[in-house]
Amino acid sequence: MNPFTVYLVRHGSTMLNGFDRMQGWIDSDLSEDGIQQAEQAAEKLAGIPFDRAFSSDLGRAVDTRDIILNALQQTPTETRVLPEFREVNFGFFEGLNSTDIWSGIAAPYGKHSQEDLIELGGLAETRKAMKAADPSHTAEDYDEVMARVKAGFQTLREHCQPGETVLLVSHGTLIRTIADYLVSTPMITTLKTVVLAS
């Protein structure tokens, strides 16, 4: 048992977010709004001393982490990237219009959007539907995502000491998947989420 607290933060909004593009493993810079959102997250985290600070290895998460640390004027004992916490891989659909893609994936089920699919069958079935629709067969399903996340939390346990407070900047769909998983399977780590943007 190695209890420590993780503040799980979504990165700020990016250029591709603004264009309603699928942004998983592909990357784009934080927009001006995204930079402001990272600064606002720092305001919400003011007064919390972080022993360690991690992020996904994607630039938008790294930049958000660094903006937060700079605004807080903190230098944790360890700052690094953890690839296990990068966004879900959307396979062939990376970079394409999100609304159009989810409409196409949902259509065989008589639905129109990602939210419709989640309401119909839950997040795991929604990930399965995307993987089934992906002609490249590289989109991650729920189990693949959670296997990666579990490996990431094992890495955290190996790095963190009992009682430490950790900043972890990741991605919207990954955080949503973690939250979904925790509903039925609590993990050792205490998670606190700071929402930056939808």
Q: Virtual CA dihedral for 69, 88, 27, 167, nearest 10 degrees?
A: 0
Tokens of 140: 């991650």
Going by the DSSP 8-state scheme, the letter that residue 83 receives in this structure is G
Length of the chain: 198
Question: Sign of dihedral through CA atoms 59, 65, 70, 75?
Answer: negative
Tell me if 196 sits within 8 A of 63, measured CB to CB.
no
Tokens of 185: 């399977």
| Options 87, 94, 140, 164, the catalytic residue | 87
Phi, psi angles (nearest 5°) of residue 21: -105, 145
Q: Is 137 a catalytic residue?
A: no
Q: Is 159 a catalytic residue?
A: no
| Options 11, 84, 94, 164, the catalytic residue | 11
- Nearest to residue 44, comparing CAs of 15, 10, 80? 10
Going by the DSSP 8-state scheme, the letter that residue 53 receives in this structure is E
Tell me if 41 sits within 8 A of 33, measured CB to CB.
no
Q: Distance between CA atoms of 52 and 78, rounded to whole angstroms?
A: 5
Show which residues are catalytic. Answer: 11, 87
